Amino acid sequence: MHRSVLQNKKYIEFSERYTVEVISLGSLEQGVEKEDPKAATYSAKNEEGEDVEYMLEFPGLTLEQMIALRKSPASQFNDTGKIPFTCLVDPHTGEEIQRWSGGQSANTLIEAVMLARRDLIQAHGEGLARQDLREVEDAVADAKSEARAGDFSKAFRALDKASDDDAHQVLKDKVAAGREAVLKIAKEAIDDLRELALDDPSQAKRELSRLKRQLRGTALEEIVQDAIDSI
Amino acid sequence: MSMMRALGLAAVGALVLGGPVAAQPRRAEQPKPSVRYASTWEDALAEAKLLNVPIVVHSHGFY
């Protein structure tokens, strides 16, 4: 089931456009305790730029997230006492649409998803394209990453590129939240340079001047200037 | 703090309350191509509503 669906190239491409995938895995802790190879992890950075260990068999998920998912409402659909079990859920109602007990092919799921999606569109209209959502999320992640690296010009450019007055409000909100996050990182950088000024005022002033150029036109421009003037 | 990070921390808290896992997972190579999983049920609901697509819940066992 894992290889035939969750690691199936056709299903992976299909799911990128037409589904949200949730895994609820039983007995994970026992596998970890026994150091089963299937419980192996790989190192990566999360969206906050922090080092994390993701599960090799379930990329992008940490052990803690997988345990939380198993304890979440996602696990309540399988009342059969058997695995594998698969179901489709209507995100608007939280109700189950269709279920399968036992293994299913990728094609069976694809056909069922398309039928379910047709009904969802009839009831709620077309949703946002995932590609548009990913582009904005990636831009926000890039912006935060650049900001953490100290390049606020690049951070704002990434956000500007993702900004679109005609975009869905959710996307606009995500860009706005990304801008706030970058400004928060910039404010922390200013505070750090105020600290540095106590030991090395020349260096702090140079860094603050550089920061001021990058923050021109933002709410922090005046705050940087105050920091420079205070040295 | 992002919702994802807050939920992640909450999950760790729940782990501690429920008793820690005795061993840490083994580290290994890079993962094979796979579907992209939602990291929380709440994230799954929010994204699926936005995209207006069904959530596919896979209930598997480790063994």
**Is the confidence at residue A2, as pLDDT, over 90?**
no
Contact A137, A128 (CB under 8 A): no
Closest by Cβ to B58, choosing from A40, A71, A86 = A86
- Of A35-39, A74-78, A160-164, B19-23, the poorest mean pLDDT is in B19-23
Q: Side by side, which strands form the sheet with A20-26?
A: A20-26, B55-61, A85-89, A96-101
B50 Cβ under 8 Å from any chain A Cβ? yes
What is the interface pTM, i.e. ipTM, of the complex?
0.85
Q: What is the pLDDT of residues B1-18, one digit of tens each?
A: 444 444 444 444 444 344
Q: What is the pLDDT of residues A48-73, one digit of tens each?
A: 788 999 999 999 999 999 999 999 99
Measured between beta carbons, which residues in chain B are less than 8 angstroms from residue A42?
A: 27-31
Q: What is the pLDDT of residue B13?
A: 41
Please state, in angstroms and rounded to a whole number, the distance separating the CA atoms of residues B7 and B9: 5
Burial of A9 (0-12, 13-18, 19+ CB in 10 A): exposed
- Of A31-40, A81-90, B5-14, the poorest mean pLDDT is in B5-14
A188 Cβ under 8 Å from any chain B Cβ? no
Please state, in angstroms and rounded to a whole number, the distance separating the CA atoms of residues A68 and A110: 27
A167: phi then psi, degrees, rounded to nearest 5? -70, 160
Q: What is the pLDDT of residues B44-56, one digit of tens each?
A: 999 999 999 999 9
Please state, in angstroms and rounded to a whole number, the distance separating the CA atoms of residues A216 and A23: 45
| pLDDT band at residue B23 using 50, 70 and 90 as cut-offs | low
**E strand spans, A29-139:** 41-45, 51-55, 58-62, 85-89, 96-101
**Is the confidence at residue A126, as pLDDT, over 50?**
yes
B16 Cβ under 8 Å from any chain A Cβ? no
Closest by Cβ to B36, choosing from A16, A62, A83 = A16
